Amino acid sequence: MLDSCVDIAPRPGAVPRADVFERPDDVLALIDLPGMHADDLSLTLEGGRLVIRGRVTTLRMEEYELVSAEYGVADYACTLVLPDDVDSDRIEANLQNGVLRLVMPRKPAGPSRRIEVARG
């Protein structure tokens, strides 16, 4: 089973929240990354881990001067430890409305075979 994000964040509170769902053929992770743009997001596979890093920058509006900002620059980082049966070559990622959706297909189970026991 896939657990939520493991904290590798550069500062407290920068670990994104994640919900993880399973079914026989795949695992789905929904990771909350408010204000994140796909260009500012990095996903890398390191061994059996999926490392997620991203940076949210202050919103700029053309023709307006920023007067007050409650959201500033934020760095997000976490690691998902992948189950052994996830096919890392087929992971799909989509970022929409501040939610990263990861679909991680499982490897097909190999055929069963009989193992002969030698005598002696």
What does residue 116 show for φ and ψ, rounded to 5 degrees? Answer: -75, 140
Number of H helices, E strands in the chain: 0, 8
Side by side, which strands form the sheet with 26-32?
18-23, 26-32, 99-105, 92-96
Identify whether 119 is part of a domain: no
A 10 A CB-CB count for 43 gives 15
Identify whether 111 is part of a domain: no
Identify whether 120 is part of a domain: no
Identify whether 59 is part of a domain: yes
User: pTM value?
Assistant: 0.76
Range of the domain at 16: 6-105
What total number of domains does the chain contain? 1
Q: What is the CATH number of the domain that holds 62?
A: 2.60.40.790
pLDDT at 107: 92
Identify whether 75 is part of a domain: yes
Identify whether 52 is part of a domain: yes
What does residue 39 show for φ and ψ, rounded to 5 degrees? Answer: -65, -20
Question: Which parts of the chain register pLDDT below 70?
Answer: 1-13, 71-72
